[in-house]
Chain A
Amino acid sequence: MTRLVCPFCGPRHLREFEFHKTVAAADAGAFARVYERVASTELSVEHWQHVGGCRGWLEVRRNPSTGDVLEIHLVGGGGEA
């Protein structure tokens, strides 16, 4: 995994992006949202920010055992490149 495809900016080097955290379940409470993480070896759903580019917030679906990126879209949708 050396680059991510930003929906606005296209393929960019991984160092432009900053991982934030795994996405909490919709019904998660405040404590879970701050401190707990969703662990999976197969599918990790994460928030990232394109800090070195458009600064957009991205929802990234990855397989953390292989490094394959399955899907990236803007949080809240819209703005497809």
Chain B
Amino acid sequence: MSGPEPRYSAWSLLRARLAGDGYWRPLWTGRKLRDAYDVVVVGAGGHGLATAFHLARDHGIKRVAVLEKRLVGYGNVGRNTTIVRSNYLLPENHYFYEDSLRRWETLSRDLNYNVMYSPRGVVDLALSDDDMSGAARRGNAMRLAGIDAELLDLAALERFCPELEPRRERRFPIVGALLQRRGGTVRHDAVAWGYARAASALGVDIIEDCEVTGVRTAAGTASGVETNRGYVRADRILFATAGHTGMIGTMLGVPLPIETHLLQAMVSEPIKPLLHTVLVYVFPGHGETYITQSDRGGLVMGGHLDGFPSYTREGRWDRLEEVVEGAVELLPQIGAVKILRQWAGTNDMTMDGSPIVDRLRYDNVFVNAGWCYGGFKTIPASGAACASLVATGTTPDLIRGFRLSRFATGHLLDERGGGPFPVRL
């Protein structure tokens, strides 16, 4: 079937029903790789696709290609635990993450694709008075910036999340929580598919199985990329290769303040609705568990990083045990539920825990990287801001703090206050 991409609506569903087989077409079509582009985006993950979409829609850049080594959405956009939130302490972070959260709220309409944003709340549990002080400080910082945050005492937490039974006797008793009601979950694969479909409809070429192997330069600027399908000329190049940005630095001869660690996630067999919110539980001395229930019923869980550089995409076993132990301590009623699947993504961890969106070595080469474990939730804001940087050459105020030079000048965004190491348990 040819003709314009059908716009999804109740009417298009009805028409599809009447038309029978063959009405729906692929979300993005197999385009041919051209010789030259205005912008080549490397990496068809969330950030790359979102940036390509905004380049085409907001900046009218006609010739944009997204080159992907494997498949659209193969990397972290399809491997995360789907949580979105903006409960950060530092202004540079919370304004940016809040911009993202606002975009999540309307993204399904903007893309004409249901990404299933579910504002089910994100609950950061506090296990001590110290935790409560920290939660109050972070919540107050958020509220001063106009972001919703509520400090919950035990009674309020019990009202919000009775399934947690906060007063139950535990090894680490719960004393309260910080709640962000507008936080929640988004269907992660739909984000990749929705952006790919919308970008493709605007004329962006999405080329899968196309690995970039080098950058060709002339007179101090980049002139194009070498790929396994030949040379492609490009006026501007953006690397959005989460999980492999360190290697991009190696390729360009720029060592980066990035270590690549694995972050695991796992999902249980589907069970009836049990947990209606997102619980984040950092328990003293030995780990972290965050847990949410997917729309299909599986309990999706994650925890700390594996703790050393790795590209294997296989998580370490003892970390899985820790995460599950935490989940069972939190919700003892799930003790008999079985784990169905476990997987890992490669996370580019920066030395202050905050991202890098900047030029890289050449005036026309850009990098969108170092999202640590917060990459998924930032996709809409990152796409818009990064497209603005690439299109205009000027850094938008929203991402001014994410410049690479901050490590040399001392303007770190050390949200965790942990020093120049991505992991300290």
Q: Tell whether, in the assembled complex, residue B256 and residue A36 are in contact, meaning their CB atoms are under 8 Å apart.
A: yes
Residues of A within 8 A of B244 (CB): 41
- Decide: A37 and B310 in contact? CB cutoff 8 A: no
Would you give the 0/1 interface string for A24-36, flagging 1 where the beta carbon is closer than 8 Å to chain B? 0000000110111
Q: Check B260 against A39 for contact (C-beta < 8 Å).
A: yes
Specify which of A36, A46, A48 is in contact with B255 (CB 8 Å cutoff): A36
How many angstroms from the CA of A13 to the CA of B260 in the assembled complex?
22
Contacts of B250 in A (CB 8 A): 39-40
A39–B247 contact, CB under 8 A?
Answer: yes
Contact pick for B247, options A18, A22, A31, A41, CB 8 Å: A41
Could you name 28 residue pairs across A and B whose Cβ atoms are closer than 8 Å? Answer: A1-B316, A2-B316, A2-B317, A2-B318, A13-B318, A14-B316, A14-B318, A15-B318, A18-B307, A19-B307, A19-B308, A31-B407, A34-B351, A35-B420, A36-B256, A37-B256, A37-B257, A37-B258, A38-B255, A41-B244, A41-B311, A46-B308, A48-B308, A64-B309, A64-B310, A64-B312, A65-B312, A67-B312
Residues in chain A near residue B166, CB distance under 8 A:
none
- The residue on B at minimum CB distance from A67 is B312
A interface residue count range (under 10 / 10 to 19 / 20 to 34 / 35 or more): 20 to 34
Which A residues contact B (CB, under 8 angstroms)?
1-2, 13-15, 18-19, 21-22, 31-32, 34-41, 44, 46, 48, 64-67
Q: Enumerate chain A residues within 8 angstroms of B351, measured Cβ to Cβ.
A: 34-35
Question: Which residues from B are CB-within-8-Å of A21?
Answer: 259, 421
Compute how far the CA of A34 lies from the CA of B308 in the bound complex, rounded to whole angstroms: 17
Contacts of A65 in B (CB 8 A): 311-312
Does B249 have its Cβ within 8 Å of any Cβ on chain A? yes
Of the candidates A18, A34, A64, which one forms a contact with B311 in the assembled complex, judged by CB atoms under 8 Å apart? A64
- A39 B258 Cβ-Cβ under 8 A: yes
When A and B form their complex, which 4 residue pairs have the shortest distance between CB atoms, in order from nearest? A39-B246, A19-B308, A36-B255, A35-B257
Q: Are A22 and B309 also in contact (CB < 8 A) when A37-B256, A39-B247 are? A: yes
Given contacts A35-B407, A39-B249, contact A19 B423 (CB under 8 A): yes
Apart from A2-B318, A19-B308, A64-B310, 20 more pairs, CB < 8 Å: A1-B312, A1-B316, A2-B316, A18-B307, A19-B423, A31-B407, A36-B255, A36-B257, A37-B257, A37-B259, A38-B255, A39-B246, A39-B247, A39-B250, A39-B256, A46-B308, A48-B308, A64-B309, A66-B312, A67-B312
A32: nearest chain-B partner, CB-CB: B255
Interface size class, chain B: 20 to 34
Q: Which residues of B contact A (CB under 8 A)?
A: 244, 246-247, 249-250, 255-260, 307-312, 314, 316-318, 351, 407-408, 420-421, 423
Nearest CB of B to A36, in Å: 4
How many residue pairs at the A-B interface have CB separations less than 8 Å?
69
Shortest distance between the CB of B41 and any CB in chain A (Å)? 21
Residues of chain B within 8 A (CB-CB) of A35 are 257, 351, 407-408, 420
Which residues in B have their C-beta under 8 angstroms from that of A64? 260, 309-312
- A35, chain B: closest CB distance, angstroms: 4
Chain B neighbourhood of A14, CB < 8 A: 316, 318
- CA–CA, A37 and B247, complex, Å: 11
A38 (CB) vs chain B CBs: closest residue: B255
A1-B316, A13-B318, A31-B408 given as contacts; is B308 within 8 A of A37 (CB)? no
**What separation, in Å, do the CA atoms of A24 and B247 have in the docked complex?**
16
A31, B406: Cα distance in complex, Å = 12
> Bound state CA distance, A60 and B247, in angstroms?
20
Closest to A68 in B: B312
CB distance from A20 to the nearest CB of B (A): 8
B-chain residues with CB within 8 Å of residue A38 when the two chains form the complex: 255
Q: How far is the CB of B342 from chain A (nearest CB, A)?
A: 15
A15 to B: closest C-beta gap in Å: 5
Residues of chain A within 8 A (CB-CB) of B249 are 39
B161 to chain A, nearest CB (A): 31
* B316 close to A44 (CB less than 8 A): no
Shortest distance from the beta carbon of B274 to any chain A beta carbon, whole Å: 30
In the complex the two chains form, what is the Cα distance from A49 to B311 in whole Å? Answer: 21
Smallest CB–CB gap between B318 and chain A, Å? 5
State the Cβ distance, B163 to closest chain A Cβ, in Å.
31
B33 to chain A, nearest CB (A): 25
